Amino acid sequence: MAVHFLLLLTGLTGIHSITTVSKVSVKAGSSISIPCLYGVQYTNHVKYLCKGYYWHSCSYIIKTNQQSSGRFLISDDKTRSIFTVTIHNLTDKDTDYWCAVEIIGGADVKAYFYLSVTRDTSHLYADHQEITTFNGDNITINCYYINTGEMKWCRLGSSCVTRSSGSIDGTKVTISEGGPSVFTVTMSGLRTESSSWYWCAKGDLQMPVHVTVGERPLVPTTNKYYNTTTFITPLATRSHLTTSSPEPVSAFDHLKHFLIPLSLLIFIVMVLLLIWLMLKRHKQTRADSSATTTALDLGGQASIATPSLCNSLPQTEEEATYCNVRHMGKTSDKRSDEKSELDGTYSSVVIVGQQTPKRVEARDEDVTYSMLAQHQQNL
């Protein structure tokens, strides 16, 4: 009687010694991995997968002490006390299974899970079932569904987050609606201890997701100035390991690294100065051209000399310049609205070149007369 009681007690306690998902929606022809968490007291025991709706009549499919083959695979992570079974090329007959641990001399402990095999899209699935990341990183998982019910994000053998935000074992979790028939789970500040199996939950369906968090790999960087190599982690955790002692840098090396940027700076300044001088010269040329351009009168005739020009010409005995400036004003009020060719100032300049020392009697055609006539406005 006492023996039967102990066996019954062992069986009852064993029921809760394995934790797994209860119902998973899968598509025919695809693959699925199911995690099974067991107690540490079963670390060295044989684990196996059993197929069938009833426990007493289920058949062995694969064990950890035999080589995996065919459509079924099994692996045991004794560090985290989780064994995983993977089923490939699912059919509509792959529905009822048991995760189990073999107990020598006693009843095996087990946990039942059901696979809902569909011909079309799964009723609940994640964009990734396997995610690998590094310490300190964040991850985002999209869970797509077509069924109804409460949204959850759970860790195998631990707690669940059912609200918009919460935490699981010190890791921040945020759940948000990512669009029609999809919710997004974000885990922030992951640590190595965050590595585990998780699952999306919507109503009575779950979809397991395995998250592996590792140490960020060290990246070697070389400092050419000090001839050293340093290993660092690009983000989050950083470790510095110097593999060789620094060597002194000569004064010539310091001067060389100083002169290169200085020479580049001087070259840039010289180019900018040259451009500035060219622009300034161009503006000056345009200004001089405008100052010496003759003004056009209303009738289209030009004044080709001004009093200031006449005054600036050389005045020597051998070389003379004669200017004729004539201004024609309005003759009467009656003609004030007419545009006469006489309304303007006319100027002519004649330059007489240098004469030979021999004096020659001037002729009438060699003389230029200058006349200034001013017509006053008639009242």
Which H or E run contains 274?
helix 251-292
Phi, psi (deg, nearest 5) at residue 226: -110, 5
Using the Cα atoms of residue 281, residue 285, residue 291 and residue 296 in order, give the sign of their dihedral. Answer: negative
pLDDT for the residue numbered 182: 95
pLDDT for the residue numbered 325: 44
pLDDT for the residue numbered 228: 62
C-alpha closest to that of 162 among 194, 185, 195, 129: 185
In the sheet where 241-242 sits, what is the strand order?
219-223, 228-232, 241-242
Give the start-to-end residue ranges of the domains of the chain: 1-120, 123-215, 219-264, 307-358
Per CATH, the architecture of 1-120 is what?
Sandwich (2.60)
Contacts 24+ apart (CB under 8 A), 28-32: 28/90, 28/91, 28/92, 28/117, 28/118, 28/119, 29/89, 29/90, 30/90, 31/86, 31/87, 31/88, 31/89, 31/90, 32/86, 32/87, 32/90, 32/115, 32/129
pLDDT for the residue numbered 220: 66
Tokens representing 57 are 């009549």
pLDDT for the residue numbered 232: 59
pLDDT for the residue numbered 53: 96
pLDDT for the residue numbered 51: 96
pLDDT for the residue numbered 225: 58
Q: Which CATH class is domain 123-215?
A: mainly beta
Judge whether 1-120 and 123-215 match in fold.
yes
Is the entire prediction scored with pTM above 0.75? no
pLDDT for the residue numbered 374: 46
pLDDT for the residue numbered 286: 80
d(CA 215, CA 237): 8
Q: Which residue has the tokens 């069924």?
A: 147
d(CA 223, CA 244): 11
The amino acid at residue 167 is S
pLDDT for the residue numbered 346: 46
pLDDT, block means (10 residues), the chain with 379 residues:
36 62 96 96 96 95 85 94 96 96 94 95 93 93 94 94 91 90 94 94 95 83 61 45 38 62 88 90 80 50 46 47 46 42 44 46 51 44
